[in-house]
Amino acid sequence: MFLLLLLLLSIDYKTVNAKSECSVDGQVRSPKYHLIEKCYRSKLGIVTKANFTSLTSCQRLGFEKKALAINFSPQEAWSEYNVTGRYTCEVLKCAEADGGLSMVNDSRYDYYSIYGKPVPHVNSTCVPTLGMFYILTKKQNYSQGFRDCKNISGLPADVTSEQRTDSLAQLIAGASLEVAFVGLRSKNGSGFFSVTGDALDCTTYRAWQPGSPRKARDKYDCVLLTRSRTWVTTPCKKNYPMICEIVPGGPYKRGSIFASRMKPETNMENKNDEEF
């Protein structure tokens, strides 16, 4: 119910503000939780928990709280294992990256994530409830950066909210960078558009640094996020780092979250074998 209300509100809001076509959900992320591994629980931070009998209720709570992942205990597990005092639905701020380093064996729970296929790169950074991001530190032009983001199942990051601009600016600072390309672009001197095709005019938040955007949009056609939480326009052909936002997806192929965890071990075993 609440969810539907939110959706309706956002449609209404966007219709009012729209100068050109705005999609219903401009966000890169979709709200589907994919089963990652049965009998596993993630120990990543919990936003909230509840005692639900149905997975759907748990998923709905997750969506409402913008959870990137959930631990859910199905009814079958209750009779078999002691769940006294445990909540059946744990809604998580972050999702596991490749390796599943915060996952533990726990027969009472199944772990679900919005990132199923591919599993986010091991060096992705989670911004709680916002998403998983990856910084391309290599300085290159926008099209090269875009291509590299795509290669890790990402897109140049969306910065069109205060929360996004603030937390991604922190990410830039944390990586000891000054600026990075983000997912806003002007084509042919038009207004700015997100990578999902939404006009910047569809949202009201702005963080332009004084002097930006330049009048010559055909030349200053890309946008950099600065570590001081502002947006600056720059030519797309110039070289800068880029922040990629991992696009959620599935279905998940069982075991693939542990792929990188297993590989080094296998290699070590092989080496040991050779030594003997």
The site for ligand NAG (CB under 6 A) is made up of: 51, 78, 82-88, 105, 122-123, 141, 143-144, 148, 151, 187-188, 236-237
Rounded to a whole number of angstroms, the minimum distance from the CB of residue 162 to ligand NAG is: 29
Look at residue 272 and give its three-state secondary structure: helix
Provide the token pair at 214: 């330049």
Q: Which is nearer to ligand NAG, 60 or 86 (CB)?
A: 86
Query: Do residues 113 and 95 lie in contact, with contact meaning Cβ atoms separated by under 8 Å?
Result: yes
Q: Which is nearer to ligand NAG, 13 or 81 (CB)?
A: 81
Give the pairing of strands 69-72 and 89-92.
Answer: antiparallel
Residue with the shortest CB distance to ligand NAG: 237
Provide the token pair at 163: 């929360």
What distance in Å separates the CA atoms of residue 189 and residue 220, rounded to the nearest whole number?
Answer: 9
Measured at the CA of 133, the angle between CA 56 and CA 169, to 5 degrees, comes to 120
Rounded to a whole number of angstroms, the minimum distance from the CB of residue 210 to ligand NAG is: 27
**Pick from 17, 28, 15: nearest CA to 245:** 28
Q: Which is nearer to ligand NAG, 229 or 245 (CB)?
A: 245
Q: Which is nearer to ligand NAG, 105 or 176 (CB)?
A: 105
Rounded to a whole number of angstroms, the minimum distance from the CB of residue 75 to ligand NAG is: 9
Rounded to a whole number of angstroms, the minimum distance from the CB of residue 144 to ligand NAG is: 5
What distance in Å separates the CA atoms of residue 73 and residue 35, rounded to the nearest whole number?
Answer: 12
Residue 273 backbone dihedrals phi, psi, to 5 degrees: -60, -40
Rounded to a whole number of angstroms, the minimum distance from the CB of residue 163 to ligand NAG is: 26
Q: Which is nearer to ligand NAG, 141 or 212 (CB)?
A: 141
